[in-house]
Structure 1
Amino acid sequence: MEKKLSFDLLFCSFFFAFLLVSWPAMSQEVENQREFDYNTNGTRGPAHWGDLRPEWHNCNTGRMQSPIDLLNQRVRIVSHFTDFQIDYRSSNATLKNRGHDMMLQWSGAAGHMEVNRSRYFLRQIHWHSPSEHTLNGKRFALEAHLVHQSQTGNIAVIGILYNIGQPDYFLSTMRQHFVEISATQRDKLLNMVNPSLLKMRSSLYYRYIGSLTVPPCSQNVLWTIVRKVRTVAPEQVNLLRVAVHDDSNTNARPLQPLNNRNVQLRIKASIEGAE
């Protein structure tokens, strides 16, 4: 019995080690974002991202780039679907200043989203101000991006838009951490951050195929934009920008051409697991 137990433990150890080694590298946003900026008149601004590194060429030449304007006339309505599920849970995380944004990166199993039976595991959340996506030409005060990755390396992002209004509860729970990182500029380890505290329940959301909105601007990213606009207090938006300590008052990429892509407005009773 003891030999069998030892064998089982050894097998499990090798199995989990294999998973860690075999997990594909993510074509993710650049970790140190000080290599580029958002100055539209400068040589490192959005129009020149594709020139700064060969592997960033999609930023200039890609035809499925994000963000886009979610215009009513372009949208195809899809109803009565059951292909989208969310299951988030608390996990340890690290708050990082990447040079142009604040990123909260989960280090453990923070849950997943499931689309058409494909699971995308939650990796991190970061914020853009003002919003990058627009609704019928309207830009909002803030946009949160929840970045997910499948075991095959595919990327899916959920976007949440915010208008100025009442404070956002999740950002309220993070306030002191933002204040501390603003003063120290060091990564901060956090215990058991619950992504379910993000309020994103909605009966409508947009779906399209796009890209990362920062270099390397990787394409074939599955975007889900929650249609219900949340609220955020002005001081919460300001704190996100102050904590970064960059020279810009924005970290929003300009809108990109749609190039005949299909944009869907999907109708559902709710987004499970979000509240």
Structure 2
Amino acid sequence: MAKLASLVLIFGLVTTLLLLTSYQAMSQEVEDESEFNYDENSEKGPQHWGDIKPEWFMCKNGTMQSPIDLSNQTVQIVSNLGLLNISYHPSNATLKNRGHDIKLELIANSSYLQINGTQYVLKQLHWHSPSEHTIDGKRLDLELHLVHQTPSGKTAVIGVLYKIGLIPDPFLALLTKDLMAITNSTGAEREVGVVDPRIVNFRRTQYYRYMGSLTTPECTQNITWTVVKEVKSVRKEQIELLQVAVHDESNTNARPLQPLNNRLVQLNYYYGPGLGPTP
């Protein structure tokens, strides 16, 4: 009987570990963002995220967290990662005010990013202001995250950085009326018709690559990050519209920088064929 009890206990532990591993692999960003905030002085602020819920423990204990500083002193310059392999196409989309950010969810699974033979489907886009990643310690004005996922739940995110300039961001310009329609309405959703993610139009030849995490709870790790080196232009009014839409009293939705912990960060330069327009 003792041997049988031990076997049952071992089986239970193994099953629990397998379920936990599977759960973590399929983890998504939290949709109800009222459960946390970005106020450093709040009990729901970034330094306390890992204490709010047991399943958010990685926010406090993870060793591969994002965002990080992309420092020229620590990055490894390479050329073997190749041209960033994306294929984006128009899709119907829904705009949602999640409380601390605006998410644009694509309905069709027709756009993808391919890394090392694995195809990640573009699921949604959202914005952080100021930027979450920094370049040599410098925080920019805005960061767009394009979130891709495989059917098994593996995630890869492309980050695009912006600074305030005279030229407006054409992608945000298309969403102006829709953003205004969901201002100050947490949870509000709006169908925006067909959008084309190719309008984001970032360069695919120079980018940073590292392994990190989601930057919101549950702070799931083993996320493949690609941060485009090119810094694009956005108007101040466009950023203000995003901030007004989420109506966040902290006036920011950027997570503080996380320790690098000796992770490899690569900066890829590509000079080969295939430099034409994004397919």
Using the size of structure 1 for normalisation, the TM-score is 0.88
Gaps of 5+ in 2: 1-23
> Any conservation in 2 of the 1:85–1:271 contact (CA below 8 Å)?
no
Q: Tell me by how many angstroms 1:202 deviates.
A: 4.2
- 1:216–1:273 Cα change, 3 Å: farther
Distance in 2 separating the partners of 1:47 and 1:273: 42
Shift of 1:208: 0.1
Instruction: For residue 160 of structure 1, give the secondary structure of its aligned residue in structure 2.
Output: strand
**CA separation of 1:234 and 1:56: change in aligned 2, threshold 3 A:** same
1:56/1:272 CA distance change after superposition, 3 Å = farther
Aligned partner letter, 2:182: I
**Structure 1 counterpart of 2:177:** 176
Q: In structure 2, what is the equivalent of residue 246 of structure 1?
A: 248
CA shift, 1:171, in A, is: 0.5
Q: Partner of 1:47 in structure 2? A: 47
2:203 is matched with which residue?
201
Distance 1:79 1:27 in 2: 32
CA distance in 1, matches of 2:184, 2:138: 34
**1:122-180 deviations in whole A, cap 9, x for unaligned?**
00000000000000001000000000001221000000000100110100111111011
5 Å-filtered alignment, 1:131-142, equals: 131-142=131-142
Alpha-carbon offset, residue 119 of structure 1: 0.2
Q: 1:220 to 1:272 in 2, by over 3 A?
A: farther
CA–CA separation in structure 1 for the residues paired with 2:128 and 2:54: 25
8 Å contact kept, 2:67–2:258: yes
8 Å CA contact 2:144–2:161 kept in 1: the answer is yes
Contact in 2 for aligned 1:87/1:272 (Cα 8 Å): no
Percent identity over the alignment? 52
Superposition deviation, residue 72 in structure 1: 0.5
Q: Quick one: which amino acid aligns to residue 205 of structure 1?
A: Y
Equivalent residue for 1:187? 189
Structure 1 residues 7-58: Cα deviation after superposition (integer angstroms, max 9, x where no partner)? xxxxxxxxxxxxxxxxx98311101111000010110000000000000000
The structure-2 alpha-carbon separation of the partners of 1:152 and 1:83, relative to structure 1 and needing over 3 Å to count, comes to farther
- Contact 1:85/1:113 (<8 A) preserved: yes
Looking at structure 1, the residues matched to 134 and 234 of structure 2 have their Cα atoms a distance apart, in angstroms, of 17
Counterparts of 1:151-170 in structure 2 under 5 Å? 151-165=151-165, 166-170=167-171
Correspondence list, 1:8-87, <5 A: 26-82=26-82, 84-87=84-87
Note if 1:106 corresponds to 2:106.
yes
Q: CA deviation at 1:108?
A: 1.4
Q: What SS does the aligned partner of 2:182 have?
A: helix
Shift of 1:273: 5.6
How far apart are 1:191 and its partner, in Å? 1.3
Match of 1:265 among 255, 264, 267: 267
CA RMSD of aligned residues (A): 1.8
1:88 is aligned to 88
- The answer to whether the 8 Å contact 1:91/1:193 transfers is yes
Residue 176 of structure 1 aligns with an amino acid whose one-letter code is: K
Deviation at 1:184, TM superposition (A): 5.5
Q: TM-score, normalised by structure 2?
A: 0.86
- Cα deviation, 1:173-224, whole Å, max 9, x if unaligned, reads 1111101111655200121111111021143100000000000000000000
Aligned length: 252
- The separation in 2 between residues aligned to 1:167 and 1:56, in whole angstroms, is 37
Contact 2:83 2:204 in 1 (8 A): no
**Aligned equivalents of 1:183 and 1:246: distance in 2?**
9
Greater shift, 221-230 or 199-208, is seen at 199-208
